[in-house]
Chain A
Amino acid sequence: MRDNKRVVITGMGVICATGGSVEEFLVSLKEGRQGIREITLFDCSGYSSQVAAQIEGYDPLDFFDRRELRRLSRVDQFVLIAAREAFADAGLKNTIDHGERSGVCLGAGAGGMLSAETYHHQLLEGKRPRPSFLLPFVPSYATDRLAERYRLQGPRTTVTTACSSSATSIAYGAELIRWGEADVMACGGGEALSELTFGGFCSLQVMDSFPCRPFDAQRKGLSLGEGAAVLILEEKEKARRKGAAIYGELLGYALGGEAFHITAPEETGREEARIMSEALQDAGVTPGEIDYVNAHGTGTILNDQVETLAIKEVWGEDAHEIPVSSTKSMIGHCLGAAGGLEAVASLLAMRHHFIPPTAGFERGDEICDLDYVPQAREDETAIVLSNSFAFGGNCTTLIFGKGDL
């Protein structure tokens, strides 16, 4: 049953620091525009960094009315904005016609933390905060809001593996379609900046006080970001029959655990290499067939080193031939939305024949000596591998192909 079905992406929607639509996001990727600036969302003057890829000039009232906003935290808003674009892009106004054949699987990071922080802050000040601040705190809240808006009556699941959440949501959404549990799945995820997450990464001393510089010798850590990406997954034959415009196909994936440390990656890169190899095998492609590696590339000293070692282990001598870039250099590390945004970047690279850059990359070091693509370049990209690695050693690798579309 599973083997007969393949899964394609027929719609995408995005909001992040460098773009409020897929079109804007595409332009920013080609230009290598960096969206990392001073944070205005909350006071972070006492922290080791004051920058992040915050979505600026955003007025929720442009998208929602006041009554709706009482029930929607910042991340839920982002998810719904991305979903609107994705459903329209896929030619699905709402999916009531599909009923129980359409579902949703999203990844979540801190979820409604920003809203819960407001509650908790007021509580600690001895005030009586509004209980509805707590509603969005369950990480499946955005999933339910999306399902409600598009009347999805099929399966619902929320993945909460921190930085790999939304990559995994795409993998699981595809499984549900391949097993015939749904014909349409909305996947991806959202993230809103929050003080807890910001302070948390500062406390671990992995935050760059400048905009992050993945793979660069001068890199000092990551920059956080926020946003959402929603991708519409459909069964390939059904999508073809109705003449849907297809961005690409999920050729394969692997989910794995490093079983090593709660924050640090296994330092030889052996485990990450294993998971990339499993994904390649699942997709039925050889390392040589990969045209572009969309790296996890957070900008921390350890991550970029280990990921590079892992790439070298998988590609061997050819590692220097393959373009590797981190779009986090532009949109920051969007945690629960990261894998989804990177999937969109990967699919755009294939459709528009280019390699997104690692913005700000100047020179590598002894270990980080691959082709990190400092400027976007035109190139035929038919197969892309995208990595998402998370706290707890949760690793997800997705492989997308343009295929015979």
Chain B
Amino acid sequence: MSREHEKGMSLIVKTVTRLTVGLILLYGIYIVSHGHLTPGGGFAGGVIIALSFVHLMLAYGKEMALKRMPRAVASFCEGMGALLFLSIALLGFTGGYFFLNFISKGEPFRLFSAGIIPLCNIAISLKVGAGLFAIFVALTLLKVLSEEE
């Protein structure tokens, strides 16, 4: 068996993960982008996106997942999501007050409608997904480090 099969779980888990992790990520993106039309939204979609990376990390070990999503990128997305959400809120001052829905509402039941709500969903999903993945990585690395000592 080659060297890449040594880390992580067994071959069956790795194959199933390789087939499903893209679907999970895609489902999270769907939940986020249709948050203003169907049940879901930024928080749930962000958690699903984080879960796809957690899935990758459980099956393939931490090097594979951290190669796809390094900790610096996770921290950057976390801060960027928070700043994006706050700046969307501050941009409402161009029309009057905080959190004003300043983009045109559009037609209901369309993907591009409801003004700032999809943008806020995307910002929250970036923040939640990157933050929860960073927490998971930190706790898992802590466990590995404490076992080494």
**Are A and B genuine complex partners?**
no
Binding site for B on A (CB under 8 A): none
Chain B positions near chain A (C-beta within 8 angstroms) = none
